[in-house]
Structure 1
Amino acid sequence: MRANHRTASLSTMHIEAAPELIWEGLATARGMKTYLTDEVHAPNEHISAGDEIRIVIGDMINDAVCLASDRPRLFRLKDRFRSLLADDSYVEYELVTTFRLEEEEHMTRVTVEVDGYDENSELHQWVRECGEFGWKQSLFNLKLVLELGLDLRYDVFGYPRFGVCNYTATPAQLRAQGLDPDRVQGNYLMEVFPESPAARAGLRPGDIVASFGGRDVPTYAEFIRSLGLCAGTNEPVGVMYYRGGRRLHTEAELSYDKLLTGLVDPTEESVRQVADGKRSS
């Protein structure tokens, strides 16, 4: 029986603002609404240890408890996530997120540490890579808000979607297809959603995508960056992938459908309701 090894991830951003100002963004309901999400429910404006809060970000609900609030240096939440997927199912998981603020000359170093990932869990591998990239995007938007007065969250997160749950393929997954991990890297498809661009292009769970839009995608981050570079274009995107060790090619037409972009509000509607509404319109 394998032991569950719990691991953590780190994301950092240097912001040209005082710690007090950044703290307002990270640890108050009003501040979160300036850069992260429009829906934050908290008992008090300044969140304190013991407070229970609900943060809704697109198709994800986080019912969190504040574990520590040491203004303006440290803010820690115990997160209970419930994420709605494009096949109308949910995934649930718990993590601990810590924000640390450190002054460095005229900048503030913001570090987000997320702890509690199970390295033996396929779900947690996907959640970890999504979370790491998502916090980089969110911290970047906070930097834009504080330094330039620009809230570009919908531009930052508004890239077209392929309709998959994917993560960086492990060496074991590559070897299982007879591939050499020193020569081939890519993204393992954990899930391909029905009627998605990926499904229509013939992709299946277990496929390993190595190239997307003419760019190699050896990691999850590179995969998301390649999706972002496809924004604003309506041309089919070339996809090179491996199945059973065979190198295959296809094309996909990406989608901005809110069933795939995470714009479904899980507190008001389900994916099925949105899909039924579309079919009847």
Structure 2
Amino acid sequence: MRIDKLSFNNAQTQGMARREWLQAHSPHHLENCVELMKQGLHLRPRSTSQATVVLGAGTCTEVPLVELCRGSEEVVLADLDYAGMRRACDEQLTAVTLRRRMRLVECDVSGLVSFNLQRIMRVQRWDEAAKRGADTLFSLAADCLERCPVPDPPEIGDLGVGDYGLVVSSLVLSQLFSYPLLDILDQIQSVAPQLLGEQERHARYQQAAQDFRLRLVTSHLHFLRSLLDKGGVVVLLSDVRGFAFMVHGTDHDAKHRRYLPLVPRRFFDLVRENFEVVEERKWDWITDLPQEGRFGRGYEVYGYVLK
């Protein structure tokens, strides 16, 4: 499963070195993330829980641990990448008093969706479907997505329900569905590599994939609500579409970008159906600069403060 490589990938691409790169090449991304989390702390009333949870914390590249610890009685980091969370604490927290406020929870914040999908995929006759052609193969893939259980909301005992006055979802939403969808495509590549890329032509698969994304988005928003104490605040950060580019640093950058949607359009309505929007921001997050023969990459990000 792609999610099994998460810790290794984070070690290669995230953390202090990545934060320094972002400060040089995409400073607005870090500034917006930090400012929205500080705003969440500021808006959290004293009458609600003073504990904070960060979902998808990873190596905390965009998470200001010092500020969160100073403003909270407890800060809980929740992610599958336990080593990355430990490394983040070592890098950012030098004061023992702040480190004592930290608690790390190793968990899959989707509620084991990748595992659920893998269990269904494992018993399918992929070789036989591939022999029958693209329609049969992608119909089988669609069937796996349609049958995959998505907990709504996930129940993670180590996090509790209604325990937090500030709940942060840190750029994890699109990963919740992209990793299992990539698992499906990896399976197709293993049995019929010549058909990889043909999924765009198969309406049932496209609909199943979009419905799968929507189920994960809805589940995650419900999860944020379930963790929130009465009167608490949510900070939701999510990439909504990616882009590739060869022109950077001009007034015409956007004209030279090739966009790829990540979250369903319904995402924006779902946010407002589940929460009151206190603040909304939109910005670009550059992750790689273009080099000779290779496109640069980035994401369009939306950040929310919600109640």
Normalised by the size of structure 2, how large is the TM-score? 0.26
TM-score (norm 1): 0.28
Q: Greater relative contact order (Cα 8 A, min sep 6): structure 1 or 2?
A: 2
User: Which structure is higher in strand share?
Assistant: 1
Higher normalized helix content (fraction of residues): 2
